């Protein structure tokens, strides 16, 4: 803490910036005297509060219904938040916090997959997520000329990767991942010279 006198009538105090959440009080005097040697009539008392920002929102499913008991993690050093029976959550973070909040519940996918923040200094509401349950990785197949046409049910906003194998152990991608749509999807795979080919689909955020 520092003291300075910008003029004959003012005593100015200074202190380093405080970011820790809590209530702070500052006492100055009463032993401080003016240029005539007269002490302060009473000690000066100042106070301020540093409140931790709160991130809050709601998690719903694709029908708009609340999803309870979703865990929202913001890093190993912070306590995770959990949605209540109305799908609501609140997550307390340190002042000026930067990081990422990620929802998790079993094998479900979430849109967006996470939310990133930089220098959070105030409460942020409506930080919502939507939970999407991935479909069973069921594929349909039919011959289409020199190709094999594979089809499956997509998930909007998720990434779908078609994989193939000849031994059910080593799996290779069939082209790039495809951004999902909320409906049927398909991919055409050229028929190869292998005696047997196996296919599967994976869904991720």
What mean pLDDT is predicted for residues 144-161? 79
Burial group, residue 171, by CB count within 10 angstroms (0-12, 13-18, 19+): middle
Tell me the whole-structure pTM to 2 decimals: 0.57
pLDDT at 149: 85
Picking from 86-100, 143-157, 159-173, which range would have the lowest pLDDT averaged per residue? 143-157
Residue 7 has a pLDDT of 80
Note whether 81 and 89 are within 8 A (CB): yes
CATH number for 54-132: choose from 2.60.40.1120, 2.130.10.10, 3.40.50.2000, 3.30.460.80. 2.60.40.1120
Instruction: Write down the pLDDT at residue 136.
Output: 55
- Find out whether the peptide bond into 30 is cis, omega within 30 degrees of 0: yes
Sorted by where each begins, the domain ranges of the chain are 2-50, 54-132, 140-204
Closest CA to 28 of 9, 5, 12, 50: 12
pLDDT tens by residue, 88-145: 999 999 888 999 999 998 878 888 889 999 999 899 999 999 998 765 556 777 777 7
């Amino acid at each position: 803490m520092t003291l300075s006198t910008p003029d004959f009538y003012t005593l100015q105090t200074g202190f380093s910036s405080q970011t820790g959440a809590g209530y702070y009080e500052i006492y100055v005097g009463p032993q401080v005297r003016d240029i005539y040697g007269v002490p302060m009539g009473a000690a000066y008392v100042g106070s301020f509060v540093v409140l931790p920002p709160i991130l809050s929102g709601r998690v719903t499913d694709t029908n708009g219904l609340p999803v309870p008991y979703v865990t929202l993690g913001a890093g190993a050093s912070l306590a995770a938040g959990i949605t209540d029976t109305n799908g609501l959550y609140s997550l307390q973070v340190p002042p000026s916090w930067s990081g990422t909040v990620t929802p998790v519940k079993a094998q479900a996918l979430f849109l967006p997959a996470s939310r990133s923040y930089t220098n959070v200094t105030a409460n942020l509401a409506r930080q919502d997520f939507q939970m999407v349950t991935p479909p069973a990785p069921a594929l349909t197949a039919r011959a289409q000329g020199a190709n094999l046409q594979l089809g499956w049910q997509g998930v909007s906003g998720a990434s779908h990767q078609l994989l193939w194998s000849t031994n059910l152990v080593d799996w290779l991608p069939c082209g790039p991942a495809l951004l999902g749509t909320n409906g049927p999807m398909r991919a055409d795979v050229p028929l190869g010279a292998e005696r047997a080919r196996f296919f599967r689909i994976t869904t991720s955020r």
